[in-house]
């Protein structure tokens, strides 16, 4: 009696499908396909073997469910069927209070250093806000009072309405002759 994996190989050869063509279409490594045709299913975990055999059967035109049943029967006969593995569940709750992680106490030096950094950062932030507010606030230009003397000397008598050249002493006049 022929085994199901040799039946798969015969079906593929009857349809004149090259193994490399099956590998290209299914993206299964050609070494794994050769192992399937030889009946060596120890190359990968059982779930992957089932997926690969299913894809191989579909690609060559065989009935995948029937082939998977034969694979399961074959693995039971040979003892290659994997045992069910129960997942490991760890209890992550601490058994005592000593196992609870508490952040270490900070030394006064570390606290002082952090406080100084925070104050400096706050001062920089406030200064930046002040500068930005000063730049963005439009102030009206100063008003010039034309009736008050331009110089601080109130005895000079020069105002904005006076002719400046006539009130200056002679030696400061430009000679235009």
- Can you list the alpha helix ranges (DSSP code H) found in the chain? 4-14, 19-26, 30-38, 46-60, 64-78, 108-136, 164-167
pTM above 0.85, yes or no: no
Q: Average pLDDT, whole number, for the chain? A: 77
Residue matched to tokens 């058994």: 95
CATH 1.10.260.40 assigned to domain 4-78? The reply is yes
Which DSSP string do the residues of 17-45 spell out, in sequence order? --HHHHHHHHT--HHHHHHHHHT---SS-
pLDDT of 126: 96
**Residue 147's pLDDT is what?**
61
What is the distance of C-alpha 69 from the center of its chain?
45
Summarised one tens digit per residue, pLDDT across range 154-170 is: 555 555 545 555 555 55
CA separation for the pair 41, 48 (Å, rounded): 10
Q: Give me 13's structure tokens.
A: 């050869």
Where along the chain do its domains lie?
Answer: 4-78
Residue of 111 and 83 predicted with greater confidence: 111
């Amino acid at each position: 009696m022929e085994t199901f994996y040799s039946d798969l190989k015969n079906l593929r050869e009857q349809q004149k499908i090259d193994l490399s063509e099956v590998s290209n279409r299914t993206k299964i490594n050609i070494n794994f396909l050769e192992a399937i045709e030889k009946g060596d299913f120890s190359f990968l975990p059982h779930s992957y073997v089932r997926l690969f055999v299913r894809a191989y059967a579909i690609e060559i035109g065989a009935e995948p469910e029937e082939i998977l049943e034969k694979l399961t029967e074959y693995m039971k006969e040979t003892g290659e069927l994997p045992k069910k593995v129960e997942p490991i569940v760890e209890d992550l709750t601490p058994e005592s209070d000593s196992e609870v992680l508490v952040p270490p106490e900070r030394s006064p030096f570390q606290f002082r250093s952090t406080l100084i950094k925070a104050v400096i950062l706050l001062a920089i932030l406030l200064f930046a806000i002040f500068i930005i507010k000063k730049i963005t606030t439009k102030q009206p230009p100063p008003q010039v009072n034309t009736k008050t003397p331009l110089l601080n000397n109130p005895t000079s008598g020069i105002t904005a309405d006076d002719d400046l050249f006539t009130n200056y002493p002679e030696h400061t006049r430009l000679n235009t002759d």
